[in-house]
């Protein structure tokens, strides 16, 4: 079998998605997600100008070799643009291989290690009453684990709150410049324990509660928050400090037993190395789409398993249904699955990308369609062209740019 065509579909059914479609001489097609939220066209150019011309004529069955050829052969390694591009190629090749075998992808990854994949959803509220309503809405949708985020008294716009719709899904600002959010770490640190207390008082002790600090804290502030949340037994504290500096986690780990999750912005094994070998985290958050595909992420999770660290793939709406499908197959297959983030997609997105995976009673199921199980409606995709959009930026109250 040979690849005879490689092309990209860029569409915006409410938000931008970049999808690679490979076609073989036997008429099989494979899809891969290359969406890098807010920087989509950089990946389009990387693929169109530098990668797709190399794929035509290759044997699609040679997934490992193609991955190494594109990773090592480029000389310039890693980085979000490169690894999102590689991920799209890798997933499209797995899709073709599984279709050729007539099997759902998870069967090629060793088969199911469990019956279903537990997902967590997002609950957000400007204040505690709105947050409690949002948790109720997620529970009504079937979720059995919920991430909780609120506004902070005195701040106008805070991560995960003002840019979300009634389903908890992030609404991206489409326009020429990013929105600006504001931030005050002391106010946040005072507020969050009270939020957990209120949610526990309302929903009891059993509901797994997650929280995302979105890289905004110093290590000692993160240690403080981890300690303050211990009485409420969070499922995890996510991205508590920027993790480019892996050393920071030693200090945090030393001070708190709150489980730690990190890695949604990582794109290679090397970003994790001491976090794993020193057991500084509990959950590895990378998504197939941003980590170079199923091939390297499977290796990472298998390595992490030796240290009792679990998978917990990033799964917001900016991972397309193609990336989400690949994730659910991998979730089902790896032994050390922890949890999967899942916010769902807009009705229009679900029409553009028809998928075999389903969400019921808080769990995802990959379905039995051969491959990853996603069909792309190219006509509908073309009717919703790319629209420039930015993630927000974050400033302290004196105007200083802060981590987002
Ligand atoms: C999460 C993330 C998202 C990101 C977004 C950026 O845990 O779901 O932090 O909310 O901000 O995916 O593109
Ligand atoms: Mg996050």
pLDDT for the residue 244: 87
How far is 160 from 168, CA to CA, in rounded Å? 8
pLDDT for the residue 166: 57
The four Cα atoms 276, 242, 161, 121 give a dihedral, to 10 degrees, of -10
We report the CATH number of the domain holding residue 164 as 3.20.20.120
Q: Tell me the average confidence (pLDDT) per consecutive run of 10 residues in the chain, 404 residues long.
A: 98 97 98 98 98 98 98 96 98 99 98 98 97 98 98 88 61 75 96 98 98 97 98 98 93 98 97 97 98 98 98 98 99 99 97 98 98 98 96 94 93
pLDDT for the residue 271: 97
Are both 133 and 23 inside the same structural domain? Answer: no
Q: Nearest-CA neighbor of 325 among 291, 287, 362, 283?
A: 287
Are both 10 and 153 inside the same structural domain? Answer: no
Are both 284 and 166 inside the same structural domain? Answer: yes
Domain boundary among the residues 82, 102, 122 is at: 102
In a domain, 398, yes or no: no
Q: Nearest-CA neighbor of 315 among 291, 296, 333, 334?
A: 291
Domain boundary among the residues 102, 118, 146 is at: 102
Are both 134 and 23 inside the same structural domain? Answer: no
Are both 76 and 25 inside the same structural domain? Answer: yes
Are both 114 and 79 inside the same structural domain? Answer: no
- Helices assigned H by DSSP within 148-218: 185-203
Task: Say whether 287 sits in a helix, a strand or coil.
Answer: coil
We report the CATH number of the domain holding residue 7 as 3.30.390.10
Q: Which residue's alpha carbon is nearest to atom 4 within ligand 1?
A: 316
In a domain, 401, yes or no: no
How far is 120 from 112, CA to CA, in rounded Å? 20
Q: Which residue's alpha carbon is nearest to atom 8 within ligand 1?
A: 316
Where in the sequence numbering do the catalytic residues fall? 159, 214
Are both 174 and 249 inside the same structural domain? Answer: yes
Q: How many domains does the chain have?
A: 2
Q: Which residue's alpha carbon is nearest to atom 5 within ligand 1?
A: 316
pLDDT for the residue 160: 77
Are both 268 and 304 inside the same structural domain? Answer: yes
Backbone angles phi, psi at 74, to 5 degrees: -75, -15
In a domain, 395, yes or no: no
Q: How far is Cα of residue 354 from the mean position of the Cα atoms in its chain? A: 19
56-85 burial, b if ≥16 CB within 10 A, otherwise e?
Answer: eebebeebeebbeebbeeeeeebebbbbbb
In a domain, 383, yes or no: no
Ligand 1: residues within 6 Å at CB?
Answer: 37, 170, 212, 214, 264, 314, 316, 318, 341, 391
The ligand placed nearest to the CA atom of residue 341 is 1
| Domain range enclosing 74 | 3-102
pLDDT for the residue 173: 62
Are both 189 and 215 inside the same structural domain? Answer: yes
Q: How far is Cα of residue 22 from the mean position of the Cα atoms in its chain? A: 23
Are both 82 and 114 inside the same structural domain? Answer: no
């Amino acid at each position: 079998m040979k690849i005879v065509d490689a092309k990209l579909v860029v569409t915006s059914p409410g938000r931008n998605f970049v999808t690679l479609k490979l076609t073989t001489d036997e008429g099989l097609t494979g899809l891969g997600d290359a969406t890098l939220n807010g920087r989509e066209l950089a990946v389009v150019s990387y693929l169109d100008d530098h990668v797709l011309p190399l794929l035509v004529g290759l044997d699609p069955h040679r997934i490992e070799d193609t991955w190494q050829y594109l990773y090592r052969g480029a000389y310039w390694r890693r980085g979000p643009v490169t690894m999102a591009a590689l991920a799209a190629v890798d997933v499209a090749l797995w899709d073709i291989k599984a279709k050729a075998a007539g099997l759902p992808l998870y069967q090629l990854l060793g088969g199911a290690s469990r019956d279903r994949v537990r997902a967590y959803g997002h609950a957000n509220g400007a204040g505690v009453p709105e947050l409690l309503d949002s948790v109720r809405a997620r529970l009504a949708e079937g979720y059995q684990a919920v991430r909780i985020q609120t506004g902070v008294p005195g701040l106008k716009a805070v991560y995960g709150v003002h840019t979300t719709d009634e389903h908890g899904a992030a609404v991206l600002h489409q326009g020429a410049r990013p929105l600006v959010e504001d931030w005050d770490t002391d106010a946040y640190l005072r507020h969050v324990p009270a939020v957990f207390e209120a949610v526990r008082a309302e929903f009891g002790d059993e509901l797994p509660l997650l929280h995302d600090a979105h890289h905004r804290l110093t290590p000692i502030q993160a240690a403080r928050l981890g300690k303050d949340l211990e009485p409420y037994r969070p499922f995890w504290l996510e991205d508590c400090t920027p993790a480019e500096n892996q050393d920071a986690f030693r200090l945090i780990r030393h001070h708190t037993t709150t489980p730690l999750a990190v890695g949604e912005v990582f794109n290679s094994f090397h970003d994790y190395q001491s976090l794993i070998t020193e057991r500084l985290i509990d959950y590895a958050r990378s998504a197939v789409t941003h980590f170079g595909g199923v091939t390297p992420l499977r290796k990472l999770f298998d390595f992490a398993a030796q240290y009792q660290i679990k998978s917990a793939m990033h799964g917001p709406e900016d991972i397309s249904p193609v990336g989400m499908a690949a994730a659910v197959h991998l979730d089902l297959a790896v032994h050390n699955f922890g949890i999967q983030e899942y916010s769902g997609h807009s009705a229009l997105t679900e029409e553009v990308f028809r998928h075999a995976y389903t969400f019921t009673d808080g769990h995802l199921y990959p379905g039995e369609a051969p491959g990853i199980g996603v069909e792309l409606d190219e006509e509908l995709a073309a009717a919703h062209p790319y629209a420039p959009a930015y993630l927000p930026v974050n400033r302290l109250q004196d105007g200083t740019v802060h981590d987002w």
